[in-house]
Amino acid sequence: MEGIFLVSRVIDGDTIEVNINGKKETLRLIGIDTPEIVDPRKPVQCFAKEASNKAKEILNGKKVKLEADSSQGERDKYNRLLRYVFLEDGTSFNRLMIAEGYAHEYTYQSNPYKYQIEFKEAEENAREDGKGLWGADTCNGDTTR
């Protein structure tokens, strides 16, 4: 399963569609949560458009490397593959979104994952620097408004 794959569509900041051996698979990124933009049950959250647009800017039409994490399982309850996404230069896309203030670190059901410490540090730094959704002029960390 691991290898280099083409991103066929960015759904939002933490969900993408990737072409894996001719089949389009929806992927949920492990360890991050971006404000909701496409959930029909919720209003568009603070900084959701920015997070979604950033993901599109970085990933649309790009090739990415995927990494599974056995601690998180293969798929979520919506049947989306659970993966870390790396750019061709080796940059962790998941961590980048947190570090730049486009996502919160997200631990699913208190279940530690491979890059948890690194992602939590990235969030702490983004918060201290007031980046993205942590900015006083944006959401101040509260994306529910």
Q: What is the pLDDT of residues 32-78, one digit of tens each?
A: 999 998 878 888 999 999 999 999 999 999 999 999 999 999 999 99
Where are the extended beta strands (E) located within 1-132?
4-12, 15-20, 23-29, 32-33, 63-67, 81-87, 104-105
Active site residue 127: no
List, for residues 114-131, the tens digit of each pLDDT value: 999 999 999 999 999 999
From the candidates 28, 50, 83, 123, which is the catalytic residue?
28
Instruction: Return the CATH class of domain 4-134.
Output: mainly beta
Active site residue 28: yes
Burial class (CB in 10 A: 0-12, 13-18, 19+), 7: buried
From the candidates 9, 80, 118, 127, which is the catalytic residue?
80
Give the C-alpha separation, 47 to 64, whole Å.
25
The neighbour count for residue 27, using CB atoms within 10 Å, is: 24
Overall size of the chain counted in residues? 145
Mean pLDDT across the chain, nearest whole number?
95
